[in-house]
């Protein structure tokens, strides 16, 4: 056992304030016009040099850490290998993940782990990979891995991997209503193709940019939208009850997080968020968190900085 304490990077969950989906592309992905926001639920990823690649998970209460694959297909291991390959290095690392982001929830927890691993190993191995190259490696790993590096509030185009910061003057408060059963992202996109479909490439509404720039919660509430809402409800009709609970509790708006099944409630402020969370708890929801946004992208917590 090595005494090396390793190096820790924190990465946040993401939500999509707007998720516009276009017709499926020849490569099987869908063109997106989305606005991402990083919110205050975190995974902490600690890396240390090792003879072979490994990953271990420790989960916060209410998080199904046992649902994360631990083999070579783990996205954090794939991230580490891709960074080593990019630099022609024959090195490996032990990756220890503390999960505070619900698994398979539509909050991009796996993408957060991949982004955190890229940054952590870049620092541990003193590689100084240029930011655009790190973003390109991230985009190859998954559509929302680049945003997990960037954080804050950002637009996403292409299949979601092309990210640009967006002006956001708000201090938003979200209630995150998790679900004990995860939802497969490809299954929701299939339902989109079968039931919803669209002929047009999506565009982010100007009203959303204006609401973010003004920092006004009522305006933001009116411009939140997710094209995966109907398809997710087709796959998981039980989510209708969660949305109804959010509305009856007095949320400014309810929104499906990414491809679901997590449901987001927009609150007026932190106090309102705590009241909403308590109300959802009393309605029988066991996995409820309060999270502010926007928060930072992947950043180093421990180890030598410099
Ligand atoms: O890029 P990522 O690995 O996160 O995507 C997971 C799955 O979600 C893809 O295999 C695809 O089925 C679906 N997807 C999509 N269009 C996107 C992003 C994801 O169809 N823009």
| Residue pLDDT, tens place only, 47-101 | 999 999 999 999 999 898 998 989 889 999 999 999 999 999 999 999 999 999 9
What is d(CA 150, CA 272) in angstroms, rounded to the nearest whole number? 28
Active site residue 140: no
Rounded average pLDDT over 145-156: 98
What is d(CA 300, CA 206) in angstroms, rounded to the nearest whole number? 34
pTM for the model stands at 0.96
What is d(CA 68, CA 40) in angstroms, rounded to the nearest whole number? 21
Which residue carries 């592309």 as its tokens? 25
| In the predicted structure, residue 304 carries a pLDDT above the cut 70 | no
Work out the pLDDT band at 303, boundaries 50, 70, 90: low
Given ligand 1 and candidates 185, 196, 201, 235, which is best to mutate, with the most ligand atoms within 8 Å of its CB?
185
Measure 216 CA to ligand 1 centroid, in angstroms: 32
What is d(CA 80, CA 116) in angstroms, rounded to the nearest whole number? 10
Question: What is the model's pLDDT at position 3?
Answer: 55
| In the predicted structure, residue 2 carries a pLDDT above the cut 60 | no
Alpha helices by DSSP H, listed for 125-251, are: 131-141, 145-150, 185-191, 206-214, 217-223, 229-235, 239-249
Nearest atom (ligand 1) to Cα of 159: 21
| In the predicted structure, residue 272 carries a pLDDT above the cut 70 | yes
Measure 167 CA to ligand 1 centroid, in angstroms: 26
Question: What is the model's pLDDT at position 59?
Answer: 96
| In the predicted structure, residue 282 carries a pLDDT above the cut 80 | yes
State how far the alpha carbon of 251 is from the alpha carbons of 19, 39, 136, 241, 297, in Å.
20, 17, 38, 14, 27
- Give the mean pLDDT of the chain: 95
Helix (H) / strand (E) element for 191: namely: helix 185-191
């Amino acid at each position: 056992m090595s005494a090396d304490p390793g190096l820790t990077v924190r990465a946040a969950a993401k939500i999509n304030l707007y998720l516009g989906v276009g017709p499926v592309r020849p490569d099987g992905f869908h063109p997106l016009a989305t606005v991402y926001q990083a919110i205050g639920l975190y995974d902490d990823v600690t890396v240390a040099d090792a003879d072979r690649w490994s990953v271990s998970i420790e989960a916060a209460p209410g998080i199904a850490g046992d649902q994360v694959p631990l083999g070579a297909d783990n996205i954090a291991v794939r991230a580490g290998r891709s960074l080593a390959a990019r630099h022609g290095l024959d090195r490996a690392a032990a990756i220890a993940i503390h999960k505070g982001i619900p698994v398979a929830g539509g909050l991009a927890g796996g993408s957060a782990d991949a982004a955190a691993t890229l940054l952590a190993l870049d620092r541990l191995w003193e590689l100084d990979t240029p930011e655009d190259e790190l973003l390109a490696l991230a985009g190859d790993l998954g559509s929302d891995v680049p945003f997990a590096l960037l954080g804050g509030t950002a637009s996403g185009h292409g299949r979601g991997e092309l990210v640009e910061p967006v002006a956001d003057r708000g201090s938003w408060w979200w209630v995150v209503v998790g679900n004990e059963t995860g939802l497969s992202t490809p299954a929701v996109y299939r339902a989109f193709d079968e039931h919803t479909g669209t002929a047009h490439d999506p565009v982010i509404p100007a009203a959303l940019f204006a609401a973010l720039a003004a920092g006004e919660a009522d305006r933001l509430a009116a411009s939140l939208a997710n094209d995966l809402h109907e398809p997710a409800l087709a796959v998981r009709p039980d989510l209708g009850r969660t949305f109804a609970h959010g509305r009856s509790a007095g949320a400014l708006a309810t929104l499906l997080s990414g491809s679901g099944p997590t449901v987001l409630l927009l609150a007026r402020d932190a106090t309102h968020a705590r009241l909403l969370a308590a109300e959802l708890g009393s309605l029988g929801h066991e996995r409820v968190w309060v999270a502010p946004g926007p928060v930072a992208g992947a950043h180093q917590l421990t180890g030598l900085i410099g």
